[in-house]
Amino acid sequence: MKNNSSGKKINNIWGGRFSSSTDEIMQEFNSSIQFDKILYLDDIDGSLAHSEMLCKQEIISKKDFDLITSGLKQIRAEISNDQFSFSLKFEDIHMNIENRLVAIIGDPGKKLHTARSRNDQVATDIKLWLRRNIDEIDLNLCELQGSLIEKAEANYDLLMPGYTHLQVAQPITFGHHLLAYVEMLGRDRGRLADCRKRLNELPLGSAALAGTSYPIDRYFVAKKLKFEKPTDNSMDAVSDRDFAVEFMSASSLIAIHLSRLAEELVIWSSDRFSFIKLPESFTTGSSIMPQKRNPDAAELIRAKPGRIFGNLFNLMTVLKGLPMAYGKDMQEDKEPLFDTVKTIKLCLIVMNGMVSKLEPIPVKMLEALQKGFPTATDLADYLVTYLAIPFRDAHHFTGKIVLLAESKNCSLEKLTLDDIRTIVPNADQNILNVLKIENSVSQRTSYGGTAPKNVLKAVKKAKLKFLGNKNEI
């Protein structure tokens, strides 16, 4: 800060044309340093590449470039070691770093901002930051897929009820059920990869909005920062936040998938189902009811889409109707984006912890199966195929057989041939095999079906496709 002629403190980054200082509340309202400081690594990487290019193009001297480089590296160490004092009066991470640079190396520090603006700088920083985080999230997704695949392999023939409308429908294997989530997460990874690809163009060098008259080399900077190429239109480059919206949309689907799995964990671990035991490390006790083990982690994951969708809508609403090019509105992109990244990462790590340590309880799964008459469809199919009964009639007879089992308070498997013949007089001994749950499952060999041998094949394929485990096939 320096004083103007009337002795008032003026911002020395942009205060040249100002004769009075900003209101204190304006400083707080206007600044983003409280949250954008997490961009420091990317901001410094961007500045290092930019200054190297300025030097190569002889826009700044080698001596100034060396000073700038060592100053920036010192600042990076200071921030990493918690020895940097961030200040609201320098508004954001870009100006906090630049101010410190000038404090360390003097006037050469003031040359760093040649041929750039905070508008292209901030767009570059967010892209660099998000690209790193997309790579980390992809790894988290891959790890969760790995745990699901491992559990599926261990339980490739474990029988459980498959549900529709949350009513017992047909027998399936636990392995098959878990692999359904591996597919969902695979699509999530595809969406992130797609978003990363479109994001990977460098905005730096677009300057405020119109480009610059300095002889810069944007391809050089793009290469240094591992971008595919520089952006093609300077106005679009500084005002584009599509990549953040795309990422947050992809994250919304991840959140949906995780919340579905979380809900299943809640159901499966409930007293009524007891299909699984959740690891103690991811459940909590009740302060009043000593018998309780609550699935808090799963419940929180079930709730997180509220935040994740909210963040997406937040940013879309900010961007809607914004005239070209940069508007301060865009500073509002950060908090929702940062929150989404943090939340998704946490959810994936916690879900991975639960999945890798959960224990299925086979007898409970079987008990539920036996109660639910899950082989009724097999029975109807048998009547059609082997007794040439039209499907509608077969459906009707099967209904009657189910009613009979219900009245005898037993499963379909426990009915005798005589019982069945009271409804289908020409039924033979083979019908009893059809009613067996394991036979029902092993018959489901159509591509993508639940038969245990299919599940084993699907496990191998998933390892190869998602985990790059080539020696598994």
Which of 10, 13, 32, 51 binds ligand ARG (CB under 6 A)? It is: 32
Q: Work out how close the CB of 262 gets to ligand ARG at its nearest, in angstroms, rounded to a whole number.
A: 34
| 127 binding ligand ARG? (CB under 6 A) | no
The correct pick among 96, 119, 231, 314 for binding ligand ARG (CB under 6 A) is 119
Stretch that binds ligand ARG, among 171-179, 185-193, 324-332, 406-414 (CB under 6 A): 324-332
Phi, psi of 287 (to 5 degrees): -75, -15
Chosen residue from 99, 140, 331, 352 binding ligand ARG by CB under 6 A: 331
Q: Among 6, 165, 213, 446, which one carries the catalytic annotation?
A: 165
CA gap 376, 154 in Å, rounded: 28
Where in 291-320 is the site for ligand ARG (CB under 6 A)?
A: none
Cα gap 354→144, rounded to integer Å: 10
Q: What angle do CA 341, 277, 265 make, to 5 degrees?
A: 40
286 is catalytic: yes
* Nearest-approach distance from CB 65 to ligand ARG, in angstroms: 24
Quick one: tokens of 464?
């190869």
326 vs 397, which CB is nearer to ligand ARG?
Answer: 326
Output the six-digit token pair for 211. Answer: 């480009």
Amino acid at 312: L
Stretch that binds ligand ARG, among 171-179, 323-331, 343-351, 375-383 (CB under 6 A): 323-331
**Nearest 5 degrees, angle CA 29-CA 320-CA 331?**
30
Measure the N-to-C terminal CA separation of the chain; round to a whole number of Å: 66
Phi and psi at residue 351, in whole multiples of 5°? -60, -40
Provide CB contacts within 8 A for 437, sequence distance 6+: 159, 171, 366, 369, 370, 374, 375, 413
What's the closest the beta carbon of residue 29 comes to ligand ARG, in angstroms? 12
Distances (CA, A) of 65 to 76, 166, 363, 430: 16, 66, 71, 86
Asked if residue 92 binds ligand ARG (CB under 6 A), the reply is yes
User: For ligand ARG, which residue of 50, 89, 100, 118 counts as binding (CB under 6 A)?
Assistant: 118
Residue 395 is a catalytic residue:
no
Backbone angles phi, psi at 327, to 5 degrees: -135, 150
DSSP reduced 3-state for 224? helix
Q: What is the CA radius of gyration of the chain?
A: 31
The reply on whether position 122 binds ligand ARG by CB under 6 A is yes
Please tell me which residue in 20, 61, 270, 286 is annotated as part of the active site. Answer: 286
In the numeric block, the tokens 């969902």 are attached to 184
- Contact set for ligand ARG, span 36-75 (CB under 6 A): 36
Which residues partner with 173 through β-bridges? 159
| Shortest distance, position 33 Cβ to ligand ARG, whole Å | 8
Q: Which is nearer to ligand ARG, 189 or 334 (CB)?
A: 334
* Range in contact with ligand ARG (rule: CB under 6 A) among 19-27, 254-262, 327-335, 364-372: 327-335
Calpha distance 185→144 (Å, rounded): 8
Q: Which of 105, 312, 330, 350 binds ligand ARG (CB under 6 A)?
A: 330
Selection from 241, 225, 257 nearest residue 140 by Cα:
257
Only one of the segments 78-86, 117-125, 272-280, 380-388 lies at the binding site for ligand ARG (rule: CB under 6 A); that segment is 117-125
Catalytic residues: 165, 286
Q: Which residues bind ligand ARG (CB under 6 A)?
A: 32, 36, 92, 118-119, 122, 326, 328, 330-331
